[in-house]
Structure 1
Amino acid sequence: MTSQAVVVAVVVTYNRRELLQTTLAGIAAGTRVPDAVVVVDNASTDGTAGYLRDYQGPLVTDVVTLNTNVGGAGGFVVGMERALLDHGADHVWIMDDDTEPQPAALAEALDVSSAYEKETGDTPAFIASRVVWTDGRDHPMNRMRPRLGASEEARSAAARVGATQIRSASFVSVLIRADEIRKHGLPIADYFIWNDDLEYTARVSRKGKALTTQASVANHHTKVFGDAGADPGPRFYYEVRNKLWVYTRSSALAPWEKILFTGASLRNWARTIAASPNRKVLLGGLLKGLRHGFKAPRSNAEVLEGIYALRNVQEPAS
């Protein structure tokens, strides 16, 4: 009889205490509860630290409080390393603090992973949940498309276990095998916010299998129902800079994918700017992002120096 796989959830939070409570309640209500939950508090100032200090819920929590906000990207670097090295995770289940996993989310992801391995003899790198908004509609910000170029055999194998083969996913309820993290390294902390999930999941899945399943569901509690094209204001800088890093500095995408994705990004940026009442702000972010995007991101050790000392998980390959 084999022992049950160790699953460690990683939740990154910043100044959203009430949403974090919903996230932890969703995890605790699962039909399969993770063995531990690592919560990375990005130097919140809204009482999150006190809430986590006094947490009396049913989950085994390991709280990492940073003294500086290093964004979602930096928080996931810290949390994922902690899950592997301190908790011996076999799978790391990652999500932001505006994610509310539904009761079967983790159990179904694990079942699909196991079923696919039995069906094909291959282990999927990660399983992504279906992501819906608060009213149950598929969230356009987290919509995953079938992998381009996947063979009919690969598509059929995924379908037989109730899944679809994909190329990338957002960090909203993604179950990643620990061996894949050890193999491919951690996310890139210098991304701060946005596109760190695209780069990371595409890096992990480029030569592996990644799946999504409709049976595993998570709610994404964003303020509005929309995709990344919704007016981002000053944060447009991160969208531009980070996409440029993905296309020019990362090995996550094949050359033909970089061409395809670059064209799509240019089109989307033009639409976003044209539809915005704050065009000056977005144009400023565009120019600054293009300028900074030509300089390589800093190493994780540089970004997290004095905040958190990384130990044994490798840096991502350039």
Structure 2
Amino acid sequence: MSDGAATGPSAGTGTGSGASSVGASGALRVTAVLVAWNRRELLREALEALAAQTRPVDRLVVVDNASDDGSDAVAAELLAAWGDRARLIRLTENTGGAGGFAVGIAAAVADPATDWVWVMDDDTVPGPDALSGALATFGRYRASGQDDLAVMGSRVVWTDGADHPMNTPKAKIRASRAERERAASVGAMEIRSISFVSAFLRAARVRELGLPIVDYFLWNDDFEYSARLLRGARGLFVPDSVVTHKTAKRGSSDADPGPRFFFEVRNKLWVFRLSKALYGWENALYIAATARRWVRTFRASQDRSVLRDGLRRGWRDGWRTRPRASTEVLATAGVPDDVMDQIRLLER
């Protein structure tokens, strides 16, 4: 990517709601990061939606997690119209969401002009005003007082237009009355964590606190990372920014995960034992909430023997191991040298 003139899809300063959002929040520069793996047609839909934003995306990074279904070719085809405002990073190994987002976010914040990083998977299709709605809310929030916003999250719906239960935002525990009222005054809600399904990350905060931990392969990477960015800072759920999460089913996050339950258990223990994302009192509350969720998962399971095995192995590894350095995990994944240098810098 470069700082050249804005050419390609939706280039320019924007009109209509896009122009008002830019005016409300200043000349902000937003880099979108999309992580793809073997969902070629959904990837095409997501990229077309990003190109059609009423407030144009300034830059775009697509990280292909070693797809073998031609997703990289689809990305290359659609990114050609973006010119030097876009970059496709093809990894040689599937590093999971955590690895893909770590690589993409590192590439995004390496550009010192980036103010916000907008992250999503390839099954996330932004509505035309998803970006303008988020920036307009940020502009109103910043005008109302302190400029302490670190994370924003979109409203996530399923294909039927109803809120997706997998991505339902939760209000911040023990948010002060002033925090709640300030968020409500701009049509938002104070939050403590958010998923990577359309999250807006303040680039300055990323540069300060680093990247998602790559060894959180598959589960809890977004919870740990967003909570880490939000410790001592503000986060908002923004209903004016809407995306569609095109999962195969409209299921909740406590549905039976089968063998993947291992990652849920191991990674949650890593969060509670090792992460600096949560305050001590929050740790206790989240441990209790996690235990209740695991009970619901077991009750809903059709094969509890698989979950018991995942619980046993995850519990063992969660206590006996810790995440490896991200540079170690990514060493053989084909990360470009300049991005790996940025990852090393942020990891320190």
TM over 0.5: yes
Alignment of 1:1-318 (within 5 A): 4-55=27-78, 58-59=81-82, 60-86=85-111, 88-294=113-319, 295-307=321-333, 308=335, 309=337, 310-313=340-343, 314-315=345-346
User: Could you say if the C-alpha distance between residues 223 and 251 of structure 1 is closer, same or farther in structure 2, counting changes exceeding 3 Å?
Assistant: same
Q: Partners in 1 of 2:154 and 2:289 — Cα distance?
A: 24
* Deviation readout 1:114-167 (Å, 9 max, x if unpaired): 211110122310111011111111111111111111111111111111111100
Contact 1:28 1:58 in 2 (8 A): no
| Length, aligned pairs only | 317
CA distance in 2, matches of 1:209, 1:58: 36
Change (3 A) 1:64 1:87: farther
The answer to whether the Cα contact below 8 Å between 2:99 and 2:217 also exists between their aligned partners in 1 is yes
The answer to whether the 8 A contact 2:79-2:86 is kept is no
Preserved contact between residue 188 and residue 316 of structure 1 (Cα < 8 Å): no
In the alignment, is the contact (CA less than 8 A) between 2:260 and 2:310 conserved in 1?
yes
Classify 1:77/1:217 alpha carbon distance in 2 versus 1 (closer, same or farther; 3 Å): same
Aligned AA (2:342)? N
Say if 1:166 and 1:212, in contact at 8 Å, map to a contact too. Answer: yes
* Structure 1 residue 65, shift from structure 2 partner: 0.2
Q: 1:34 aligns to what SS in structure 2? A: coil
CA shift for structure 1 position 205: 0.6
TM-score for the superposition, normalised by structure 2: 0.87
Contact 2:156 2:242 in 1 (8 A): yes
The answer for unaligned runs of 5 or more in structure 1 is: none
Identical aligned pairs, as a percentage? 47
Deviation string 1:86-105 (CA, Å, 9 cap, x unpaired) is 47411100001111111111
Shift of 1:12: 0.4
Q: Structure 2, unaligned stretches of length 5 or more?
A: 1-22
Query: Please, which moves more after superposition, 176-185 or 275-284?
Result: 275-284
CA distance in 2, matches of 1:117, 1:228: 32
User: Partner amino acid for 1:146?
Assistant: A
CA distance in 1, matches of 2:250, 2:231: 30
- Classify the secondary structure of the residue corresponding to 1:9: strand
CA distance in 2, matches of 1:231, 1:116: 39
Answer whether contact 1:6 1:89 (CA < 8 A) is retained: yes
- CA shift at 1:216, angstroms? 0.7
Q: Secondary structure at the match of 1:144?
A: coil
Separation in structure 2 between the aligned mates of residue 86 and residue 157 of structure 1, nearest angstrom: 31
- Asked whether the 8 Å contact 1:10–1:76 carries over to 2, the reply is yes
Match of 2:205, SS state, is helix
Change beyond 3 A, Cα 1:216–1:3: closer
d(CA) in 1 for partners of 2:78 and 2:242? Answer: 25
Indicate if the aligned counterparts of 2:44 and 2:75 stay in contact, CA closer than 8 A. Answer: no
Q: In the aligned structure 2, how far is the partner of 1:12 from the partner of 1:45?
A: 14
Q: State how far apart, in whole Å, the 2-side matches of 1:170 and 1:189 are.
A: 15
